[in-house]
Amino acid sequence: MNTEKPKIMKVFDEFLENPQNRLVEQAVQSGRIPIGYSCSFVPEPILMTDRLFPVRLHAMGVAGTELADNYLSSLLCSYTRSILEFAMDDRYDLIRGWVFVPSCAHMQRLTDNLDYLKKPSFIHVIDVPRKVNSTTVAWQTEELHMLADKLSAHFNIDTSDHALMKAIDEWNHFCSVVNKIGELRKRPNPPITGAEFHCAVMASLASPKDLILPHLETLYDEIKHQDAKEKYRARLMLAGGHLHDPEFIRVIESQGGLVVADRFCTGSIPGLNPVKVNGDPFRALAEQSFEKALCPRMMEDFERRLKLIMDTVKEYKVDGVVLEVIKFCDLWGVDAMPLVSALRNEGIPVLKLEREYRLGSEGQLRTRIQAFIESMGK
């Protein structure tokens, strides 16, 4: 694998050092309004209308959750406790509004305690249905109208269809640039590692899209004619729930497994697919939110989640799938069992890893990845 980072990657590394990076600060200084969100069911274009811009909440670098543990049970996932820890430590002091989804009981407890402890002037919960059909798409469309109306009234901004279409165009352009970089991972010798790609994606999700775009375009121009300078032992796909820290992928890749595809909450497949509008932009966003999230919270949707993974394995010529699950995650903890069985029945090697939000036990992770790659005869 290529151990020489593209020069521009230092910029993306810097953007991830702080949940409110200098691009966020720059946008705030110019009068724009950052809205924090934590779930892929939240449609970013609504948070990009007028002066708004979305900031995907992360807590990379969290040293512990001593403050949050006073309010959230230790049996809740470390992701929710880490976000509350940063909120209580005023690490999100620039965030002017919060948008959540009750995707699981853990996220609901985070929302309740954040509202109780910080008393933000704007906090909204999108009540996302748990099935996909014509009735629930209409329900989701109404929910998005309610969010837009509430944002408009509170921040005195334009969330009309015209403003939303403009935001959708901006979002689609951003997605096209990221996906153009992602397409390079299909090459036999990709010019970008999985850790580098994820670092760029996470930095982008936590930044104003118009301000991060020039850096993404520079990254593409820098690597598009390159190939990996070192060989890898296996092409891997990473799937699961929230994964923010690129260091987790770097540890995997240090053992010779190149992560060429991702299917997790903060990944690009299918999370950064463009929005297809044919009429009502709110309905288009409702339909797209169901298509891109593929969350285990959704009932009667397991076969679609499985098919996407199998199709991605073929498209990216993946040798094996690593399924990462945050400890105590009810949704992925349950979904992982049939996923592992179904993929193995299709002849796809699978490794399930249980982890904490903060990277730990690197030695054990290296050992398991090394054993997994060797089990594939690589």
- pLDDT confidence of residue 378: 83
User: How far is residue 176's CA from residue 193's CA, in Å, rounded to a whole number?
Assistant: 19
pLDDT band (50, 70, 90) for residue 270:
confident
For residue 308 the two structure tokens come to 């996407």
pLDDT tens for each residue of 239-269: 999 899 999 999 999 999 999 999 988 888 8
CA dist 232 and 229 (Å) reads 10
Give 113-137 pLDDT, tens digit per residue. Answer: 999 999 999 999 999 999 999 999 9
Q: What is the pLDDT of residue 7?
A: 84
pLDDT digit string, tens, across residues 180-205:
999 999 999 999 999 999 999 999 99
Dist CA 216 CA 289 (whole Å): 24
Kindly report, residue by residue over 305-329, the tens digit of the pLDDT. 999 999 999 999 999 999 999 999 9
**CB hemisphere CA count around 229 (13 angstroms):** 6
Residue 362: strand, helix, or coil:
helix
Is it the case that residue 1 has pLDDT exceeding 70? no
Element (H, E) at 169: helix 161-183
d(CA 43, CA 293): 10
CATH number of 19-162: 3.40.50.11890
Instruction: Provide the CB-side half-sphere exposure for 255 (13 A, CA).
Output: 20
Inter-axis angle of helices 194-205 and 246-253, nearest 10: 180
Residues 62-95 pLDDT 10s:
999 999 999 999 999 999 999 999 999 999 999 9
pLDDT at 2: 46
Angle at 186 between CA 6 and CA 373, to 5 degrees: 90
